[in-house]
Structure 1
């Protein structure tokens, strides 16, 4: 006898099942992922209530014989900042290990397709972990090709890496540009009749007119660092 499948919008009472699914999703493959930590049931209840009133997003759950075993988050947005076409993106698509190969994943995607058609969205996108081979093969069979790789990190990590690897060179470049700009501005004020075009470099050996009051800006504090 075939299992009964139902896909619907999540309710507050689904909080415990959603927490369990998130915990399983964040440790898929036997090792922790970069996803945020598993939220509390109270936090999930609040989040579910917000999604019920969101016209641009839906949090779905999939039931197998009356028990929640799957979830997916749908977002309706422009396909790019340069196009008017809309797309529905499926994120955090997950079916529990014990409920796989029963059609629950297909049912969740079918609901996303139906919503996309209802909202006149001509495109569908799915975010899937690059290391999830089985999931990517499943999506490829449905006609979804790879368009990119989503990388995830907290802002503190990225800022720390930028400071460690790029800041010294970046600060030196900015200091050099500020020094050149200040020197050109000062020369422009001293010799208004001989201001070179923007970006031009005065020839070496140029001597200012006799009696001209030439001053130079102080060395930037960051110079030489």
Structure 2
């Protein structure tokens, strides 16, 4: 007898199951120490409540025989900053190890397709770890081709690496812009969008040797 599958929006009562799924996702070899730490059940309950009121995002869970074994976050956004077309992006798609190969992943993506069609989005995007071979083969079979690589780091890490490139002018610019953003926020005025007005030339660091790899 085939397992019963249901996909729905997450509820506050799913917090413990979502915490377990996140812990499994973050501990997978495809995400070596890149994801934030596992949140508490209380924090997840608050987050779920926010997603229920968000017209541009949905947090889905997938049930197998009445138990939550999968999740996915859907986000509706412009396909590029220069186009009016919208896309639905699927992020943090994960099915527990105990529920693989029962069709739960396909069911989550099918719900994303249905929502994209309902919202008149002509495109669908899925964020998947580059080294997750099984997941990428699964997505390729559904017609999803690779369009880029998403890289993730803390702002502290990037600032520290910029400092290692010995670019004092660039670091001074970053510091000045951060201060300007804070001042503008306090005054409630918009930040100019025509670039820095510091009156000085800015030198940028040389391209790192790892660029393009």
| TM bucket, shorter chain | 0.7 to 0.9
**Change in CA separation of 1:171 and 1:15 when aligned onto 2, cut-off 3 Å:** closer
Compute the displacement of 1:21 (Å).
Answer: 0.3
* Greater Cα radius of gyration, structure 1 or 2: 1
The 2-side partners of 1:26 and 1:103 are apart by: 22
Q: Offset at 1:167? A: 1.6
1:113 corresponding residue in structure 2: 113
Does the alignment pair 1:63 with 2:66?
no
Output one character per residue of 1:199-222: Cα deviation in whole Å (capped at 9) or x when no partner. xxxxxxxxxxxxxxxxxxxxxxxx
- Once residues 71 and 36 of structure 2 are traced to their aligned partners in structure 1, the CA distance between those partners, rounded to angstroms, is 16
Residues 163 and 54 of structure 1, relative CA distance in 2, 3 Å threshold: same
C-alpha separation between the residues in 2 aligned to 1:143 and 1:124? 10
Are 2:161 and 1:157 aligned? Answer: no
Q: Residue 164 of structure 1: CA displacement?
A: 1.3
Q: Deviations over 1:178-217 (max 9, x none)?
A: xxxxxxxxxxxxxxxxxxxxxxxxxxxxxxxxxxxxxxxx
Change (3 A) 1:30 1:110: closer
Deviations for 1:118-172, whole angstroms, at most 9, x for unmatched residues? 0000000000001100000000000000000000000000001101114247579
| Number of the residue aligned with 2:194 | none
Change (3 A) 1:168 1:52: same
1:18-167 equivalent positions in 2, closer than 5 A: 18-29=18-29, 32-167=32-167
* Distance apart, 1:41 and its partner CA: 0.4
SS in 2 for 1:29: coil
Show structure 2 runs of 5+ residues with no match: 173-213
TM-score, normalising length: structure 2 = 0.78
Q: Please give the secondary structure, in 1, of the residue aligned with 2:117.
A: helix
Structure 1: 5+ residue stretches without partners: 173-225
Counterpart-to-counterpart distance in 2, 1:109 and 1:171: 42
What is the TM-score when the length of structure 1 is the normalising length? 0.74
